[in-house]
Amino acid sequence: MEFFNVDLLDLWRGRLSLRRIGVLIHALMHKPGRSTLLMAMDERAKWPESDYMLARISDALELSNFFFLKANVDESDSADLELPPPIPRPGEPEPSQAGPEPQFSDAHELNDFFGRLNSA
């Protein structure tokens, strides 16, 4: 009733069809801005688009400052710098802690591996 001036009781009065209700709900889902229905169905709708853009800009600035400091600080001091965490957004899972560092093969192991492939 808030956006379309339609009373849901009209469904029981015979003046509103289920198809029309489906069309109205679909229109609410694609309506710009925030709606109570959309926020109930999708947590990401709690923020308007402008807040998402501001969070992305803030994350980019923090990352830019991090790389600037990393490039212009002594090696001993740059080891203490940590990558800045992104601003948490509604509806997105919390970033998980990184697992153990992956182990990579050295040049001799790769040479042996590809040598065995070529000889077969």
The candidate with the shortest Cα–Cα distance to 89, out of 117, 60, 48, 119, is 48
**Residue 60: is its pLDDT beyond 90?**
yes
pLDDT in the model for residue 11:
84
Shared domain check, 77 and 56: yes
Same domain, 30 and 63: no
- Given a cut of 80, is residue 18 above it in pLDDT? yes
Q: Is residue 3 located within the same domain as residue 30?
A: yes
Q: Are residues 55 and 80 in the same domain?
A: yes
Has residue 106 been placed in a domain? no
- E-only strand ranges, 32-105: none
> Do 33 and 5 have their domain in common?
yes
Tokens for 56? 């992305």
Does residue 39 sit within a domain? yes
Q: Which pLDDT band, with edges at 50, 70 and 90, does 1 fall under?
A: low
Give residue for tokens 């560092």.
101
Q: Specify the number of domains making up the chain.
A: 2
Any domain includes 102: no
Q: What percent of the chain has pLDDT over 70?
A: 86
pLDDT band at 55 (very low <50, low <70, confident <90, very high): very high
- Does any domain span residue 25? yes
Domain that holds residue 76: 47-87
pTM: 0.51
Q: Are residues 52 and 32 in the same domain?
A: no
Does residue 35 sit in the same domain as residue 62? no
Q: Are residues 78 and 54 in the same domain?
A: yes
Instruction: Give pLDDT, residue 120.
Output: 63
Q: How far apart are CA 39 and CA 16, in angstroms?
A: 25
